[in-house]
């Protein structure tokens, strides 16, 4: 047990993402509220998203198609071409939205890269995620970037094998209990949960599912360097306990 690789989720762990979806939901409702109640629009959009996940996967392009599908259905085809155009524009705005780093991210990565191999492990749309990593300005801190279509025990296991990473030397850091913590716990690796204030319904996990999984919870990523001696006590004793 010797911590070598720390992997970070990207959306809502390194930079804001869910807030862009929340804002877009609001703008979607504003376009269509003349046709239908906001609650109905939101509920139906979520249902359409989930129904389309097995066709579209995660990401903005599939979400935009789901917005269009929801809009046509809920307006019973009364939606105008101009309104469809506005929804396409919502999707394009999401794709070009500035990448806003969360607090403490850059200084934490800078510190940790001196001692560890850092990775990004994210899920979603390949092109969109690559673009965001490039625009974030963080790419040089990471020795590897892995973009998965789904994060589960099997995909993490293949990823660790492919990169010759031992489960016992690996720490995953992320905001999603479902995607970043639960499958890592099932593999027997270490995980740190840093909750983001907003979580997409699809990423929710009921508390009883988390009972058998051990993980550390931090308020923000800046707490990570000081907490590492407690998460990986055996190896950290030498170097980092000196600071305490």
Among 8, 15, 28, 58, binds a copy of itself (CB under 8 A): 58
Our finding on whether 164 is near a copy of itself (CB under 8 A) is: no
Residue 77 CA from chain centroid, whole number: 34
Cβ-contact 190, 172 below 8 angstroms: yes
Q: What's the rounded Cα separation, in Å, for the pair 48 and 68?
A: 10
Our finding on whether 75 is near a copy of itself (CB under 8 A) is: yes
Among 18, 36, 106, 130, binds a copy of itself (CB under 8 A): 130
Region at 104 (left for phi over 0; alpha for psi -120 to 50; beta for the rest): left
Instruction: Return the residue matching tokens 């983001």.
Output: 196
Q: What's the rounded Cα separation, in Å, for the pair 198 and 175?
A: 10
From residue 77 to residue 116, what is the string marking binding to a copy of itself with x (rule CB under 8 A)? xxxxxx-xx--x--xx--xx--------------------
Among 10, 32, 65, 192, binds a copy of itself (CB under 8 A): 65
Among 9, 49, 125, 216, binds a copy of itself (CB under 8 A): 125
Tell me whether residue 61 or residue 235 sits nearer to a copy of itself (CB atom): 61
Residue 224 CA from chain centroid, whole number: 18
Minimum separation from the CB atom of position 93 to a copy of itself (A): 10
Size of the site for a copy of itself (CB under 8 A): 36
Q: What's the rounded Cα separation, in Å, for the pair 100 and 142?
A: 18
Residue 234: Cβ within 10 Å count: 10
Our finding on whether 51 is near a copy of itself (CB under 8 A) is: no
Query: How much is the CA Rg of the chain, to the nearest whole Å?
Result: 20
Q: What's the rounded Cα separation, in Å, for the pair 101 and 14?
A: 6
DSSP code at position 177: I
Tell me whether residue 96 or residue 206 sits nearer to a copy of itself (CB atom): 96
Tell me whether residue 94 or residue 194 sits nearer to a copy of itself (CB atom): 94
Minimum separation from the CB atom of position 4 to a copy of itself (A): 18
Angle at CA of residue 176, ends 228 and 93, nearest 5°: 120
Minimum separation from the CB atom of position 133 to a copy of itself (A): 11
Our finding on whether 176 is near a copy of itself (CB under 8 A) is: no
Positions that interact with a copy of itself (CB under 8 A): 55-59, 61-62, 64-65, 68-69, 71-73, 75-82, 84-85, 88, 91-92, 95-96, 125-128, 130, 147, 149
């Amino acid at each position: 047990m010797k911590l070598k690789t720390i992997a970070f989720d990207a959306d809502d762990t390194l930079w804001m993402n869910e807030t862009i979806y929340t804002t877009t939901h609001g703008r979607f409702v504003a376009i269509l509220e003349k046709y239908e109640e906001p609650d109905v629009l939101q509920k139906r959009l979520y249902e359409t998203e989930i129904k389309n996940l097995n066709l579209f996967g995660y990401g903005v392009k599939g979400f935009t198609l789901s917005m269009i599908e929801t809009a046509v259905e809920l307006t019973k085809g009364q939606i105008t071409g101009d309104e469809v155009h506005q929804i396409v524009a919502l999707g394009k705005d999401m794709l070009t939205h500035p990448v806003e780093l969360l607090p403490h991210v850059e200084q934490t990565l800078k510190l940790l890269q001196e001692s560890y191999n850092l990775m990004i492990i994210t899920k979603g749309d390949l092109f969109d995620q690559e673009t965001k990593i490039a625009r974030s300005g963080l790419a040089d801190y990471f020795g590897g970037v892995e973009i998965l279509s789904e994060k589960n025990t099997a995909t993490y296991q293949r990823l660790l094998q492919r990169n010759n990473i031992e489960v016992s030397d690996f720490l995953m850091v992320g905001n999603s209990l479902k995607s970043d913590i639960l499958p890592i716990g099932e593999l027997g690796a270490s995980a740190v949960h840093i909750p983001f204030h907003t979580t997409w319904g699809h990423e929710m996990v009921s508390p009883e599912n988390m009972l058998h999984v051990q993980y550390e919870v931090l308020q923000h990523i800046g707490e990570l360097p000081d907490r590492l001696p407690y998460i990986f006590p055996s190896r950290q004793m030498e170097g980092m306990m000196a600071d305490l």
